[in-house]
A and B are shown apart, each in its own frame.
Chain A
């Protein structure tokens, strides 16, 4: 049986500085503790403009306009000066401005909970019409808006969370229940933002892939949000909610959770569903997180930097049956951190990297690029978390030294050749392994690369249910092609089954006679 392929990948960012102030947990907690805090007072002085954000080299890498190795040649800090061409649209998706993202919140809102002000919508409409992933029906659904007075009243009554552009109130998100803590205005805004960003990524995926959306069989959503009500807090189903906006009329779906590791778990599940023949086309999709906006903002402000966590990230990846062309997910290459693996960094890397490679008779050197937790280092370093991707590459290299696959002095060289700089926003699940899948697909198709390992890791202790760590990994490789022999085998099997069924039915008919 042939391995499934990565047929397409889309990546999207939405620049939402005002949502960062309103919905980011760091800011929200600070507001609850001390509404007059100096951090909150300084927050807006440290925000970037949309032009600065689209000119940010790591984000140009995320949406596919630049290879990660090229990013490595650009001197840091990347947030200073004009280092790359600022392009809104990229090979894999786009970076969307906040006002247009608000329109998407309204578009994906199924319960009239997102209200936008009419004048704001009038001003915005010409730009919405120009976006190729938005259609006539979308514009109709967004509607003509509500009066500013109505929105102001809901916000004043504290039954709705504000949507602002600077000081201007342009909309709000209403609560969905009077007392249910899982349906507050804040939670609804959080979930709607996740759904909207996932829907935008799905639209981009379908827009650039030669596939009829009706041929999508199944959708796996893998963000870190929970939607439900007080009787089933994480009931779901984001997957179908998002699929509705991709016109995937024949698809069903479900949500997979596993903290930051969930996207790689979801890809493995998708690969299994396709390889088994259950489904032919499975989309793995995740929207982003408003909670994590400005997560390290205090440290950024303290160090006089811009607040770099000002974007929501999302992605969508299509896993399909083998087409003889696109790179495969090797289903015999899985690395998994098991319940018994142990949680030291060494045990984790052993389980995710060393064990699967050993099983396949490969060394660490045989993998061209490892995609680990690809957070932008200049976001995490000021907060004391260091350069996360580089730390991971050093660990893989050190493990190779322990396995006597290379000398200790070769560690820096290994890190340069097999690693890459982080280029994804610190949105939990978003930077975890998957940001490189699009690049890896292209590089393999272009013959520039022959093997990439995609690694997802997750810290489960945050949910207070277990102290176990988690992770899962797989290899992407060039498509070996569909051999003629395999095709004959498959048709022979089909004929065999058809003959057997015919015999059974004939037998049944005779026994009834």
Chain B
């Protein structure tokens, strides 16, 4: 995950408390989604960014997971995400993020 984004997530965690945050990913690749999910739960696995060793344990979802999709205004989802839903491997993306969530999300 981009180092700047890591810094922002870390800062948000400190400001609001990890228990008040949810991470929603938009990654297009399952491997990248898994890495990002790991980063916001057990810390940066590449040991390069500000979240190295920081175990936020955030509940992490992909934007295309039904739990999230169902909460978004249908029209907004249609405008912003529907096209990519046809393009990406949605099941693989969900499995990648869900795997990490079930293992490492604290909340």
A contact set with B: CB distance below 8 Å: 342, 344-347, 349, 384-386, 391, 394-395, 397-399, 401-402, 408, 411
Contact = CB atoms under 8 A, between A and B. Distances in A.
Nearest to B78: A402
Contacts of B31: 384
A346 B28 contact: no
Interface stretch (B13-21, B54-62, B81-89): B81-89
15 contacts: A344-B80, A345-B83, A346-B80, A346-B82, A346-B83, A384-B32, A386-B29, A391-B28, A394-B87, A395-B83, A397-B86, A398-B87, A402-B82, A402-B83, A411-B86
B79 interface: yes
A265 to B, nearest CB: 25
Interface of A is mostly: helix
Interface string B85-98: 01100000000000
Nearest to A393: B87
A402 B77 CA distance: 13
Contacts of B32: 384
A394 B89 CA distance: 12
Contacts of A411: 86
Contacts, number: 42
Interface of B: 28-29, 31-32, 35, 79-84, 86-87
B28 A399 contact: no
Which of B31, B81, B82, B83 gathers most chain A CB within 10 Å?
B83
A398 B79 CA distance: 13
Contacts of A349: 83
Interface of B is mostly: helix
B4 to A, nearest CB: 9
A345 B87 CA distance: 11
B86 A346 contact: no
A344 B87 contact: no
A54 to B, nearest CB: 32
Contacts of A385: 29
Contact of A394 (B79, B81, B86): B86
A251 B35 CA distance: 51
Nearest to A391: B87
Contacts of A395: 83-84, 87
Contacts of A347: 79-80
Contacts of B82: 346, 402
Contacts of B79: 344, 346-347
Given A347-B79, A386-B28, A402-B83, 14 more contacts: A344-B81, A345-B83, A346-B83, A349-B83, A385-B29, A391-B28, A394-B86, A395-B84, A395-B87, A398-B84, A398-B87, A399-B83, A401-B86, A402-B82
A402 B29 CA distance: 22
Nearest to B30: A384
A325 B47 CA distance: 58
B68 to A, nearest CB: 15
A351 to B, nearest CB: 13
Contacts of B83: 345-346, 349, 395, 398-399, 402
Nearest to A381: B29
